Amino acid sequence: MRQLNQNRIITILVTPALLFLSLFFLLPLAAVLGGSFRGETGGVTLAGYLDFFQDRTSLIIYWRTLRLGVLVTVLATIMAYPPSYLLSRMPARRRALLMSLVILPLMTNPVARTYAWLIILGRFGVINRTLIALGLTEEPVRLLFTETAIVIGLLQLFLPLMVLPLVGALENIPDDVIEAARSLGAGELTAFFRVIVPLSADGLVMGGTLVFTGAITAFVTPAILGGSRVLVMSTLLRQRALVAIDWPSATVVAAIMLLTTLAVNLLLRLFRPKMV
């Protein structure tokens, strides 16, 4: 009797949200996946995918997207690890203040955030003017609308997503453990790589997943800093759907983005270390 009552409560609590998500989110996504396998005359076909992966331009765009994602993740790890360690050893008050500054790029209007890089990397931006003033170059160097520009913009955006889980994992390592490693004769580097890094693996995998999946699906940063010259999957989807208005091929691009993200999430879940 009590069980029955409980099931009814759960149903009442969960059903509205489940209906909402099914109708407006899951169903359209399923339609995208289904649509990507539909031929022009109906029926099930892989033609859309074959067209995509046999086309040199779209293949280049796909690999570029993944390559930039890996690069951003590696650079974010290197840039975030040492300061995260320092943050994790700080007194709580100071850490809280600094952490609220870390999340600022995540919380800022994306156009505003990216616009700064336009000023810095532009033809007559901060960097080019400095280079010219120093006599290192006569003509402005092209920095904008390059892969480098996209990587720089993505790093600023996603570094916080590496710092947050890293600090979370690192602050759980007791000082005693590090002391113990040292007193047993481990040098700074040995203690770091054999004790601290393995104990923060959870945070690394978590941060890596967030940064990589964020980087391969981000839109505003590559749209502004890469433009139509350096397309990635997200800017390609916009172009096919809203500029070329080619729905079938846009559907395939969307499906590939969706499947890639899901695959990455599943893959990295396998690597997530078991809780000790």
Backbone phi, then psi, for 243, in 5-degree steps? -100, -55
156 CB-contact burial (10 Å; exposed 0-12 / middle 13-18 / buried 19+): middle
Q: Is 178 in the site for other proteins (CB under 8 A)?
A: no
Q: Is 212 in the site for other proteins (CB under 8 A)?
A: no
Q: Is 120 in the site for other proteins (CB under 8 A)?
A: yes
**Which of 80, 225, 231, 252 touches other proteins by CB under 8 A?**
80
Structure token pair of residue 256:
């590939």
Query: How big is the CA angle at 86 (ends 100 and 94), to the nearest 5 degrees?
Result: 40
| C-alpha–C-alpha distance, residues 202 and 209, integer Å | 11
Nearer to other proteins, 27 or 46 (CB): 27
Interaction with other proteins in 14-53: which residues (CB under 8 A)? 14, 16-18, 20-21, 23-29, 31-32, 35
Give me the residues paired with residue 44 across strands: 38
Q: Total residues at the site for other proteins (CB under 8 A)?
A: 83
Q: Distance between alpha carbon 37 and the CA centroid of its chain, in Å?
A: 27
Nearer to other proteins, 56 or 149 (CB): 149
Nearer to other proteins, 36 or 199 (CB): 36
The span of 60-68, 102-110, 141-149, 267-275 binding other proteins (CB under 8 A) equals 102-110
Q: Is 63 in the site for other proteins (CB under 8 A)?
A: no
Rg (CA), the chain: 23
| C-alpha–C-alpha distance, residues 218 and 113, integer Å | 13
**Which of 211, 224, 225, 231 touches other proteins by CB under 8 A?**
224
Nearer to other proteins, 13 or 244 (CB): 13
Q: Is 248 in the site for other proteins (CB under 8 A)?
A: no
The span of 5-13, 41-49, 62-70, 195-203 binding other proteins (CB under 8 A) equals 5-13
At CB < 8 A and 24+ separation, what contacts does 90-97 make?
A: 95/167
Q: Is 10 in the site for other proteins (CB under 8 A)?
A: yes
Nearer to other proteins, 146 or 261 (CB): 261
Q: Is 241 in the site for other proteins (CB under 8 A)?
A: yes
- C-beta of 94: minimal distance to other proteins in Å? 11
Structure token pair of residue 93:
């008050």
Q: Is 228 in the site for other proteins (CB under 8 A)?
A: no
CB neighbours of 70 closer than 8 A, spacing ≥ 6?
Answer: 212
The torsion defined by the Cα of 245, 246, 248 and 254, in degrees rounded to 10, comes to -70
